[in-house]
Amino acid sequence: MILKSLRLPLTSLALFGSSLLLNPALADDKLAQLTKAEHRSEANISRNAWRNPVETLGFFGIEPDMTVIEIGPSGGWYTEILAPYLHDEGHYFGAHFSPNSPVGYHRSNLESFERKIRQYPEVYGRATIRHFLPPNETVIGPAEGADMALTFRNVHNWIMAEQEREYFAAFFAALKPGGILGVVEHRAPADASMEFMRTSGYVSEAYVKQLAAEAGFEFVDSSEINANSRDSKDYEEGVWTLPPSLQRGEAERERYLAIGESDRMTLKFRKPE
C-alpha cells in the first residue's frame, strides 16, 4: 500500500507552474508527483504500476503547454494526471459520454465523472468537458485546435458499438496538422477475428492501425511500456476477467491478480502536416 505521507498536497502543485517550460525535467517530475497526489484515491494510485502513466505520456510526447483531448475518460483515472498537468500552461478537454445517450451506464458514468470534476476545482477548474455521441455530437474540441488526442482502453467499446470509424474521424478533425494521436488498448492475438474483438475486449494492433490509416493518420511508433506476457487472453469473461474488473469475483481470484492487468499495445500516430 502507498502511504499517505508519499502523496503530494494539492497546494504544492502550484510550485511547479511557471518553471515547467523553462526546465523540461521539472515537467517530468510534475507528472511523477501527480501520479501520487492527494486528489487520487489509494485504489487509483495502486494501478500506476500496471498503467505506467509517466512513461506512457512521455512516449506520446506530452508537454505542459499543449491542448490535449482525452477521449472516453470514463472514471477519470488519467484525467487525474492530465488535467492538473495542463492546468497552468495548457488546456485539457475531456470528451465523455453524452447525457443524451440511450445507454443508462453512459449517463451514470458521466454524472460520476462530473462529480469528481466539481470535487476538486483547484485541480480541474480549467478543464473543458465535451460530449461525444455520434453521429449527432462529434465536436470534441476546437476544429484542428488540439496538439494531442489520447485514449486509454476504449477502442474495444467503440467496436462493440460499431462506431470505431466515427471516433477516429473525430480525432482527426480535432487535431492540428502534425498533431499526435496516442492509443493504449488491450492487445488481441495478431490473428484475432472481428468476432473475438467484438466480444473479448481485446483488439489487434493491425486493426487499430487500419482504423487510424483510414481516418488519415500516419503511424509513428509503438512501445511495449504496457505489455504483459502473462496475459493469455483466453478467458470466458474476456479482458474483464483480469483486474481491476475481476468479473469472476472470488473464482480463481489469486490467479488473475497474479497475472495482473491486460497486455496492452501503446501506439503513436500523427496527423499529416
Q: What is the pLDDT of residues 143-189, one digit of tens each?
A: 999 999 999 999 999 999 999 999 999 999 999 999 999 999 999 99
DSSP reduced 3-state for 79: helix
Find out whether 47 and 242 touch, Cβ atoms under 8 Å: no
Task: Give the Cα separation of 161 and 101 in Å (integer).
Answer: 12
Find out whether 158 and 164 touch, Cβ atoms under 8 Å: yes
What residue type is 16 in one-letter code? F
CB atoms within 10 A of CB 19: 12
Alpha carbon dihedral 208, 209, 211, 217, in 10-degree steps, equals 130
Share of the chain above pLDDT 90, in %: 89
What residue type is 178 in one-letter code? G
Domains of the chain: 20-270 (3.40.50.150)
State the pTM of this model.
0.90
